[in-house]
Structure 1
Amino acid sequence: MTRAGSGRDGGTGTGSAPLPQPLPRQRSSESPDGPTIGLVTAIPEEFAAMRALIEEQTEFYVPRDPASYVVGSVPSRESERSHPVALTLLGQTATDAAAAGCAHLLRSFPSVVVVVMVGIAAGVPNPRQPERHVRLGDIVVATQGIVDYGHVRSAANGDQQRRQFPQPSARLGRCADLLKADELGGLRPWERWLDSGRPPNLARYGRPPNDILRDRAGNQLQHPRRDRSGHPKGGSMPKVHYGSIGSADISVRDAAARDDLAERYGFLALEMEGAGIGRSSFLSGSEWFVVRGVSDYGDGHRDDAWRRYASLTAAAYVRSLLAKCQPLESTFGHGHAAAGSLR
């Protein structure tokens, strides 16, 4: 089950309405010493992959919150301090469910500073531009934001986004830049979880053998050579792409529609929750970020075989990303999160 959505890097047409102002976080009886990072998944495969990479975990329930949580920790940049995290599984897919789940999480854990959506997406292959070619199992990081391509104004000269989309966490964007710099030196910490390092309970999350690409007519195509597309040598590890991700309540299952949307908005992958996460987090005064593993190509030849592996690649990258981030100080009781600062 792939989810689709898209959009450029948050740009908007002339005359777009300004962003709504975020609401200050309401105080509650919750302790300010709770989780500082919220992790949101939409389907069981995503939840299981992320849960397997969380340490010191325990199940947690909050009165009057229909969701259940796994509370635990993941390493931070400081060896002596971990990030306390809360992981949840949405009851349904799509933007409304994501927005509601995000709101529940932030209400139940007012200490959360940043919400990270982690899971699978449909990738946009581009064999004619090898450097932008996305393959199954690859990781797409929304450093340039989410494009809510379903929230548009229809006009004679084409669709225009109705409102500028809130920008992703500059804090985690800078941590992604640090991972990118490490990769230039041959360091890819997320890979340790994708092969022999997989936890025993993720034995079925290995990389499938076949990555079949087809054109709009259904004919099989050749992928560009890995040295031209920038994929790691050997054929068993994913490439990390940085750019924008499209998000809308539209499940794309057509290669022509996928390519048309990608050309119009410039995104690398499509899904159905990021728009809800971004808006809900912003309006609650929190930072947000989206990381996706590519499970299919958003065409009519989808194969669920890649869902587990794609879920794991996204989870492994998120754990590596947070390991680059200094421990966060909760803003609970001090107004909304100051997006963009790197402590």
Structure 2
Amino acid sequence: MPCPPRETFQIGWICALPIEAAAAKEMLDENFGLLDAQDLSDSNIYTLGRIGKHHVVIACLPGGQCGITSATTVATNMIRTFSKSLRIGLMVGVGGGIPSAAHDIRLGDVVISCPKNTCGGVVQYDMGKVEVGGEFHRTGSLNSPPRGLLTAINLMRAAELTDDPHYPKYLLKAIGRNARTRKNFVRPQQDRLFKLEHYHYGTASTCDGCLAEWEETRSERETSDPQPHYGIIASGNAVIKDGFTREQLRLDTGALCFEMEAAGLMMDFPCIAIRGVCDYADTHKNKQWQGYAALVAASYAKELLGYVPISSVLQENLMVDICDM
């Protein structure tokens, strides 16, 4: 099929890591390849494709440049090149899970940013001011996701009460496509959550040397399918790699997940953040679950788009107009 005109692409999908971009491309029903012509000041590289009835443009952050500022630059360039069509955004990738008694978050689950109380769904945990006595106070607020995406999420959540979701099937199909996808996206066997006081043993890249008695006791799940969690995602420029810090930020923000890009998008790039849980943001953090978690997030995003009517997308303002405002 020939590539549709640039003005056809209304949904922007941003990733931070190459593994996340690869997972996104696995979700395309049609891949139209790379965009040949774009704004001369735009340094992004775009993959164009179709998911169901939607035409989607995928962009990845430059290598080694994760974080809020890089995400803002990629989004700004995308809006400039697709100024006549872009209306809705997705920030899809991996994040550090924040398990608690109220939220049984495990590796391979997916966290979706949704408004709660006065928070629009994403909180920038490192934006604020230090007041008298050295106490840090968060300031400012970030926009909520587009109304059409929030409505689609509620439809999807309602469907899950009576029917099996489709994203686990998308996940398994992508994993089994060939030897490379099996190698890079297969689900790891071990999911170990360690007690806060037990730090990672030595400098090893795996937790093989970490003792079993250090682990939290958790009940066995009925299924190995990834479970969705809806609520606040904490975003900031710092990598969280300490269990006590994770717990303190959970108490402060109520967040279910940490990541490093969404806060750079929410004001001018109306989007929802979808994060596959690849670690627990502690000293035991490693990359073993990264591929599977990235594919989980992409699979969820694909199903979510199936609940978004074209008419709902057209009701959203063009992103370029939001920037002008």
Of 118, 130, 145, which residue of structure 2 is paired with 1:154? Answer: 130
Task: In structure 1, list runs of 5 or more residues that go unmatched.
Answer: 1-30, 76-81, 282-286, 338-343
Q: Which residue matches 1:98?
A: 71
Query: 1:164 Cα deviation (Å)?
Result: 1.7
Distance 1:331 1:257, change over 3 A: closer
Match for residue 28 of structure 2 among 54, 58, 64:
54
Q: Aligned Cα RMSD in Å?
A: 2.0
Corresponding residue for residue 26 of structure 1: none
1:202 aligns with 2:181: yes
Aligned equivalents of 1:333, 1:177: Cα separation in 2: 23
State the alpha-carbon separation in 2 of the partners of residues 299 and 334 from structure 1.
39
Structure 2 SS opposite 1:182: helix
Partner of 1:237: 225
Alignment of 1:47-196 (within 5 A): 47-57=21-31, 58-61=33-36, 62-64=38-40, 65-75=42-52, 82-91=53-62, 92-110=65-83, 111-126=85-100, 129=101, 131-144=102-115, 145-156=121-132, 158-196=135-173
**What is the CA–CA distance in structure 2 between the aligned matches of 1:335 and 1:89, rounded to whole Å?**
23
Amino acid at match of 1:150: D
Q: Residue 225 of structure 1 aligns with which residue? A: 219
Q: Which sections of structure 2, spanning at least 5 residues, go unmatched?
A: 116-120, 199-212
What is the percentage of aligned positions where both structures have the same residue?
Answer: 26
User: Could you report, residue by residue, the CA deviation over 1:21-71 in whole angstroms, capped at 9, with x for unpaired residues?
Assistant: xxxxxxxxxx77331000000001000000111132111142422111001
Bigger fraction of residues in helix: 2
Contact 2:39/2:80 (8 A) holds in 1: no
Question: Which stretch has the larger CA shift, 54-63 or 261-270?
Answer: 54-63
Residue in 1 aligned with 2:234? 246
Distance of 1:71 and 1:216 partners within structure 2: 43
Closer, same or farther: CA 222–42 of 1 in aligned 2, 3 Å: same
Q: Secondary structure at the match of 2:140?
A: coil
- Cα distance in 1 for partners of 2:163, 2:88 equals 29
Q: Which residue of 2 aligns with 1:265?
A: 253
Partner deviation per Cα, 1:217-236 (whole Å, 9 max, x = no partner): 2263234325xxxx6x23x2
* Of 295, 300, 319, the match for 1:312: 295
More relative contact order, 1 or 2 (CA 8 Å, 6+ apart): 1
TM-score by length of 1: 0.79
Residues 206, 257 of structure 1: alpha-carbon distance in 2 compared, 3 angstrom cutoff: same
When residues 59 and 334 of structure 1 are mapped into structure 2, their CA distance, relative to the original with a 3 A threshold, is closer
Equivalent residues of 1:52, 1:202 under 8 A apart: no
SS of the equivalent of 2:152 reads helix
The total of aligned residue pairs comes to: 287
Conservation of the 8 A alpha-carbon contact between 1:49 and 1:202: no
3-state SS of paired residue (2:172): coil
